[in-house]
Every structure is written in C-alpha cells, then in structure tokens.
C-alpha cells in the first residue's frame, strides 16, 4: 500500500499537467512539471490539477500493459474467454491459481489509487490556489469527486473493503487498514451526490463530466448496493429515478449503426467519453478498443498486417455470445464482421475479394471446398485449422480505420472517442432496478425501447423478463463498453454463468465462491506490514 498510494500521491504533489482547450471539446494534453507552491498562484494552475485527473484516468483506462488491457472487465465471464483452443489454464479467465501475486491485480490496484491520489491533491489544494473563480472551483471539486468515486467503486467491487484515503499522503506511511465495504459505499455515494451538485448540467467542452455522468454512475452504484446486505431501502427506486433523468437528457440514437458510426461519435446518446483526436499532443497512448476481440487474420491468403483490420490482444467472445442475437437484431451485423475482404493480391485473390467468410449456420464441406476463400463454420472457432489456433467473426463495433497495426507495449494511437457511458445503459440499469423492485412491467418497457432501436419488432411482456434476459440484453448492447465481470458479480450469477457459457473456465472448473472478490495484491499487504488483510481463501 505504501508504494501504490504514497508514491503516486507524492508524484502529484510535485507535478501536475496543463490541458489546453478549444471551443468544441476538451483537449487532454499533458505538459508537466509545475510544483504545488507555484501552482497556487493562479487559476490556470488550478485547471492543471483538474485536468491531470482526466489525463491519468484516461491513460489508466486505455493503456496497454502485457496481460492487462481490460482483462478485469470482461475476461473470465460468460461472454468473453481467452483466444486459444480448449487446452491449458489461465489465472484470470479460468480462475486456476488466481492469487495475490498475479501482476494484473497489482497494476489495477495501483492505477485506481493513482487516480484517487490525483483527486485528493486537487481537493486538498482547491481553496489554497489564488484567484480561482468560484464557479470554476466548485466545478473542479465536483469533477475530482466524480473520478474518486469511480475509482473506489472499481476497487470495492473487485476487492471488497479497501483502505479509504481522502487526503494527500505527504509522508511515508504504511499502516493502512481496510474499511468495511459499506463504508466505502458511503464515501462513493457522498462523492457522487456532491458531484451532481457541483458540476455543470451541460458543459461547454465536450468530454467534461456533467451532472448526467455523475447521475449515471450513481444510478449504477445504487443498483449494485441494492443487492447487498447493507442496501438502503430506496436504492432501487433511487437508481430508477436517476436513470430516468439521464434517459430524458440522452435519448437513443435512431439506429445502432448510428451509435457505432465513427462519424457520429459525439451524439446526444453519449453521456461521457474519453477523447483522443489525431494530434500527437493529445492522443497520448491512444484509444485501444479497436484491438478487442481480433485474431491473427493476416496469416490467411489475401490479408496483411495493415491499417484496416488491425491487430488483436488475445481475447475472444464465447460461443454463447455468437449465438445470442435474434435474426432481426441489427446489432449483430454492426458488432461482428462475418466477411473479411482481401487487402493484398495473393494466391488467386484480388484486392476486394472475399478472403474469409464466417457463415452464421454451418456450411457443408462440399460447399466450403467449392470456394476460393477460407470458410469457418461456427463450431470451428476454437479448432486449429492449420493457419491459426482460433478464429472468429472479428469485432467491427470499435473499428478505427487508419490506426496503425501495433503489437504489445506499442502505442495504439487509436483516435476514436472511447464512450464510457451512454443512454442505452441507463435504460438497462432502470430495467434491472425495476425488476428487483418487483415491477417487471416497467422493466419490460425499458428493455423494449433498447430492443426496438435494434430492430426487434416483438415486444417483451412482464412475464418475459427475468435477470437472465436482462444480462443477455446488456451483453448484446454493451459488450466491450462496460465491466461484464461486475455485472455478473452484482447479480450473483458469476459462478453459474461462467461455468455454463465460458468453455475454457468450464473445462478447468476452478471458479469458486472466493472468486466473487479478487485477491489483494501481496505487495500491498507486505508494504503495509500486514495491516492490510487478505480476502478469504487466498
């Protein structure tokens, strides 16, 4: 704990960043090296402290580290598994030998506390900086509390009760102890209520935290707390009320194609995004979402390592996910690429010819043999075909044409906005809260709005709605956008759905009750002198 909280807090006390803005959106540009004493001289330095929080949170959300990128969000769930044949073991996906020394746990823990330290530094110095206009100060404090709450929400759901640090750490300190889970939630809810009261309703700069961003996060927090033993009696109704306000302000785009259209990224449905842009001063590491759920397609004839399809990062959707879409659901074609076209002339293929085709229903071997291109049936996604170990309809939902083909530890340089919150999830949060509040009819209405936008013409009725249906709907609409592991943990379905739908995890059958929490990183326990305790059975 000493390392991850003290070191990051000290760094923030010694340096901050300056972010310049233009008229239409927030530029997250890093210009470092201003001391806290110097930064207390004017309003611009206050903005540096505020925008450093954006900078570090965006970086921690997007930056690639080996075996790290998004793995605690979707890997080892019902809809995402490791990209390998049905052999071997894995700590995160298969829950085999998940332990306190797993590197990913340390990185995730440290990143969240770096964000908390950045927020705490702003909050501790807000009243000490000269000549800050009061409205700007109020807004900045609200933004800091929003991001601090977000980090603590990630920590408490992954690890349970964690040390609560609300002040900058200015001296070496190691005797941290874990707060009770309900105490962490109390801070989260308090911070988000403060943020709602402080930030702008409609920020002038796209990319800044709005009241609706704070409402949306609070609605998810209340929904999650509603399942717990320490839930407040009005958690579900509170979640619904907040979600309805967000829905009113962020109506659904007309089609799902409009949602994923790169030329339509800043639309009314978007509640909060991390921004990148193509300029080297603002893109940073770059958006990495376009790397999700892709295999080594370039080993097939007619396909090359280029800027159209890009590289992948070693995870794939499960067979369950591929079978999840109804025939009329337009999200299927907008999410998955069933045809890959040649981008080089090779082995009888011309540029633009079909290079790989993934039929939704199996073709006969005779029909496959009649084609000059590769045909991969649904039951062959996890079977080595002599070209690649695994292969599947790649994701096009997050595609970023022109982004470079990169490998691990190289800057991804994706310039697409990373949408973190949008109106469709507000409908799905309201639906789940309504179901938990014994109002399946209202839940059906919220779900029908999202499903209708996807082209599904048969409406649901109250009798159709259960938790499994809502989880499936969240998967179809939000895969790759939200934390699926937290969805399954929240709803008490982690063990059952992983064992039923994740083929690698089912093969090893190692997931157990203890895996509802991650192990506290051993380095943090050791640094604390063991005042931080480990989660049970690790």
pTM: 0.92
| Dihedral-angle region of residue 70 (phi above 0 means left; psi in -120 to 50 means alpha; beta otherwise) | left
CA distance 533 to 177: 8
- Alpha-carbon span 196 to 345, nearest angstrom: 56
For residues 223 and 491, what is the distance between their CA atoms, to the nearest angstrom?
10
**Mean pLDDT confidence for 42-65:** 87
Give me the pLDDT at residue 4, please. Answer: 29
Provide the pLDDT for residue 12.
Answer: 36
Q: Helix or strand or coil: residue 272?
A: strand
In the predicted structure, residue 133 carries a pLDDT above the cut 90: yes
pLDDT exceeds cutoff 70 at 347: yes
Query: Of 456, 478, 429, nearest to 225 (Cα)?
Result: 429
Q: Which residue has the higher pLDDT, 184 or 68?
A: 184
Q: Which token pair is 331?
A: 């999200």
Q: Give the start-to-end residue ranges of the domains of the chain.
A: 43-266+482-528, 292-396
pLDDT of residue 37: 59
Q: Would you tell me how many other CB atoms lie within 10 Å of the CB of residue 530?
A: 10
Which residues are within 8 A (CB) of 34 and not within 5 positions of it... i.e. 6 or more apart?
15, 16, 18, 45, 48
Tell me the two tokens of residue 112. Answer: 């969240």
- Tens of pLDDT, residue by residue over 54-104, are 999 998 888 766 556 689 999 999 999 999 999 999 999 999 999 999 999
Check whether domain 43-266+482-528 has CATH 1.25.40.390, yes or no: yes
User: pLDDT at residue 23 above 60?
Assistant: no
Q: Looking at the predicted structure, is the pLDDT value of residue 2 above 80?
A: no
Give the tens place of pLDDT for each residue, 277-334: 877 777 888 898 999 999 999 999 999 998 889 888 889 999 999 999 999 999 999 9
């Amino acid at each position: 704990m000493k390392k991850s909280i003290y070191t990051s807090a000290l760094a923030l006390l010694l340096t901050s960043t300056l972010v310049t803005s233009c008229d239409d959106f927030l530029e997250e540009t890093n210009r470092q090296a201003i001391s806290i004493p110097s930064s207390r001289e004017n309003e611009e330095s206050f903005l540096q402290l505020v925008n450093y929080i954006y900078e570090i949170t965006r970086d921690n959300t997007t930056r690639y580290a080996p075996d790290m990128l998004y793995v605690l969000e979707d890997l080892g769930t019902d809809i995402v598994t490791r990209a390998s044949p049905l052999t071997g073991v894995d700590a995160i996906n298969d829950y085999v030998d998940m332990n306190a020394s797993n590197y990913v746990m340390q990185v995730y823990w440290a990143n969240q506390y770096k964000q908390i330290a950045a927020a705490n530094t702003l909050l501790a110095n807000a009243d000490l900086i000269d000549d800050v206009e009061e409205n700007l100060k109020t807004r900045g404090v609200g933004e800091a509390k929003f991001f601090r709450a977000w980090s603590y929400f990630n920590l408490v759901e992954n690890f349970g009760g964690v040390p609560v640090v609300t002040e900058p750490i200015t001296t070496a300190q190691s005797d941290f102890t874990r707060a009770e889970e309900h105490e962490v939630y109390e801070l989260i809810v308090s911070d988000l209520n403060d943020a709602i009261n402080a930030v702008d309703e409609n920020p002038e700069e796209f990319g800044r935290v709005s009241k609706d961003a704070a409402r949306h996060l609070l609605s998810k927090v209340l929904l999650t707390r509603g399942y717990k033993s320490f839930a407040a009696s009005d958690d579900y109704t509170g979640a619904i009320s907040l979600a309805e306000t967000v829905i009113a302000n962020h109506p659904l785009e007309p089609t799902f194609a409009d949602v994923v259209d790169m030329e339509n990224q800043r639309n009314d449905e978007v509640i909060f995004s991390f921004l990148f842009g193509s300029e080297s001063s603002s893109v940073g590491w770059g958006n990495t979402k376009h790397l999700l759920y892709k295999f080594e397609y370039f080993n097939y004839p007619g396909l090359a390592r280029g800027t159209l399809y890009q590289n992948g990062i070693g995870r794939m959707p499960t067979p369950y996910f591929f079978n999840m879409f109804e025939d009329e659901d337009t999200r299927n074609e907008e999410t998955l690429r069933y045809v890959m076209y040649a981008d080089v002339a090779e082995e009888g293929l011309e540029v633009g010819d079909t290079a790989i085709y993934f039929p939704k229903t199996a073709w006969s071997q005779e029909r496959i043999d009649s084609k000059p291109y590769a045909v991969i049936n649904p039951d062959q996604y996890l079977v080595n075909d002599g070209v690649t170990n695994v292969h599947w309809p790649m994701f096009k939902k997050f595609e970023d044409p022109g982004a470079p083909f990169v490998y691990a530890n190289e800057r991804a340089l994706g310039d697409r906005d990373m949408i973190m919150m949008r109106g469709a999830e507000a409908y799905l949060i309201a639906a789940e809260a309504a179901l938990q509040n014994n109002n399946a009819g209202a839940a059906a209405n919220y779900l029908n709005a999202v499903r209708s936008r996807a082209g599904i013409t048969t409406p649901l009725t109250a009798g159709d709605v259960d938790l499994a249906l809502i989880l499936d709907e969240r998967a179809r609409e939000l895969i790759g956008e939200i934390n699926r592991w937290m969805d399954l943990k929240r709803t008490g379905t982690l063990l059952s759905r992983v064992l039923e739908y994740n083929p690698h995890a089912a093969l090893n059958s190692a997931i157990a009750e203890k895996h509802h929490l991650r192990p506290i990183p051993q380095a943090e326990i050791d640094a604390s002198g063991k005042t931080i305790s480990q989660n049970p059975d690790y």
